[in-house]
Structure 1
Amino acid sequence: MAKFDYYSVVQCKNSGNIIEVLCPGKDADVSQLNVIEAKTSGEGEPKHKPIITRVDDGYNVKVGEVEHPMDEDHYIAVIELIADGQIHKQYLKPGDKPEATFKIPEADDVVAREFCTIHGLWQS
């Protein structure tokens, strides 16, 4: 049986749909779900790994050292910033710039994730 925690990203084995689990049920049947592990390195890293920069009134998250394409069939669908356990999201669509600015107070623990429609989930 698959195991997931709060805020896991999973894929349905039947439909291929990508789903974010906000609060897993105690006895949930997860046999048709695959947990998607976030990549932090490897092939595609220059265009996928989120880069976090502290700005005056929050954080900027840019996807990759090399700008990621934002085409109709290959784009960054969402950027998340997890700051001291609080999740902040920016949904993107084809044609958008692959970055987001989150106006939040400075945090002690900051992590960013992004989901590419072709190459999956990446984390800073």
Structure 2
Amino acid sequence: MDIYKCKHCDEAWDKIFEGTACEEAGCACEDMTQLEEKTADFKNEKHVPFVEKSENGIKVIVGKAALHPMVTDHWITMIEVIDGSMVYRKYLNPGDAPEAEFPIHNVNVKAREYCNKHGLWANQ
């Protein structure tokens, strides 16, 4: 479940298989850079996703002491949970809360989020 960022169009992409699908969108695949998951906050910016039990499964919150901003020029675009071979994802928009609930009862999952300014973050 690698995520890449295109240097040509500045979009983030899942790379599901090897191929040249982004040529149709005007991108050059050789300009894709694999994003590294960051796991520790820098400068107190509150990017690490935290997992907690909820009534219907688990809840992932971005920023434990202070929630991540969700404004037009700085927001969490997606939150995902990887539980074995299953991947659950929720896309967010500016103005949404930086959180997502998933119907999983395992709290020991890998949670990731993508910040449009600061990249890819994970809890482990």
TM-score by length of 2: 0.82
What is the percent sequence identity of the aligned residues?
Answer: 36
Give the match for residue 53 of structure 2. 54
Give the match for residue 110 of structure 2. 111
- After alignment, is 41-50 or 109-118 more displaced? 41-50
SS in 1 for 2:73: coil
2:51–2:107 CA contact under 8 A, matched in 1? no
1:9 to 3, 6, 10: 3
Post-superposition CA distance 1:3-34 (Å, at most 9, x none): xxxx2110112222211112335xxx953211
TM-score by length of 1: 0.82
Deviation at 1:107, TM superposition (A): 3.3
- CA RMSD across the alignment: 1.9
Q: Which runs of 5+ in 2 are unaligned?
A: 20-27
SS in 1 for 2:59: strand
Tell me whether 1:95 sits opposite 2:95 in the alignment.
yes
Q: Which runs of 5+ in 1 are unaligned?
A: 1-6
Rounded Cα–Cα distance in structure 2 between residues aligned with 1:118 and 1:48: 11
Tell me whether 1:73 sits opposite 2:73 in the alignment.
yes
Query: How many residues matched?
Result: 114
Tell me whether 1:19 sits opposite 2:18 in the alignment.
no
